Amino acid sequence: MTDELYHQAILDQAKAACRAGRLETPDASVTIDNPLCGDRVTIDLRLGGDHIADLSHRVRGCVLCQAAASVIGRHAVGATAETVNAAEDALRAMLRGDPVAVPWPDLSVFSPVKHYRSRHDCVLLPFEALRTAIAGARKKGP
C-alpha cells in the first residue's frame, strides 16, 4: 500500500459516497461533530433483529471522513454490532501502526493515515457516529 495519503483508491471511495443520503424512518439518527475542525457526520440507521437492516449517512467533511462513511455504507448493512465493533477496533489498530487483519477489505485504503496523527479523527468520526447510532437504536428496542 502506498504512503501517499490521497491515493486513487481513497479518492474513489470518497467519490463513491456509498449509501449517502437520509433514511425516512430510522430507528436512530445520530449527528457527531469533530470540535477541532468542525466536520460533521450524520448516520441514520434501522436495525433488523441483531443486524443492521438499513443505513445512510451525510458528511460535511474532508476526503478521509467521506471515504470512511462510504466504507461503512458499503459494508455495514447486514452486519451485526459485533462485526461493526470489530471493524472499528481493526481500524484503530491500523492507525496505531499495529499489524492487523481488517474484516472489511476496503478499510485497508486508510493504511497511509497512520502516518498523519492529526487526521486519525477524520477517519474515526463516521465510526463513532455509527457506534452511537447502534446504541441508540438498541435502546429504542423493537
Partner 1 sequence: MSPDLTAIRARFPILSRRIGDAGLHYLDNAATAQVPDVVLDAVRRFETTSRANVHRGVHRLAEEATVAYESARETMARYLNVASDEIIFTSGATGAINLVAHSFGDGLSPGDEIVITALEHHSNIVPWQMLRDRRGIVLKWIPVTAEGRLDLSVLDRVVTERCRLIAATHASNVTGAVTDVGAIVAAARKVGARVMLDGAQRAPHGPIDLPALDVDFYVLSGHKMFAPSGVGVLWGRRALLEAMPPFLGGGEMIRTVTLDRSTYAAPPHRFEAGTPPVAAAIGLGAAAQWLMTLDWVAVSAHELLLTQRLFDGLPRAARVVGPTGLQERLPVVSFAIDGAHPHDICQMLDRRGVALRGGHHCAQPLMDHFGIPGTTRASIALYNDAADIDALLDGLDDAIRRLT
Judged by CB under 8 A, which of 9, 17, 37, 93 binds partner 1?
A: 37
Residue whose entry in the numeric block shows the C-alpha cell 454490532: 81
Is 84 in contact with 137 (CB distance < 8 Å)?
Answer: no
Contact segment (CB under 8 A) with partner 1 among 44-52, 81-89, 93-101, 116-124 equals 116-124
**Per the structure block, which three cell numbers stand in for 126?**
463516521
- Beta-carbon-side half-sphere exposure of residue 9 (alpha carbons within 13 Å): 14
Distance in Å, CB of 14 to partner 1, minimum:
9
Residue 44 binds partner 1 (CB under 8 A): no
Q: Smallest distance from the beta carbon of 81 to partner 1, in angstroms?
A: 30
* Order of strands, sheet of 28-33, starting from the edge strand that comes earlier in the sequence: 28-33, 40-48, 51-60
Q: CA–CA separation, 73 vs 86, rounded Å?
A: 16
Query: Judged by CB, which is closer to partner 1: 60, or 140?
Result: 60
Q: Which stretch binds partner 1 (CB under 8 A): 45-53, 56-64, 81-89, 130-138?
A: 56-64
Q: β-pairing, 28-33 with 40-48?
A: antiparallel
Residue 86 lies near partner 1 (rule: CB under 8 A): no
Nearer to partner 1, 32 or 64 (CB): 64
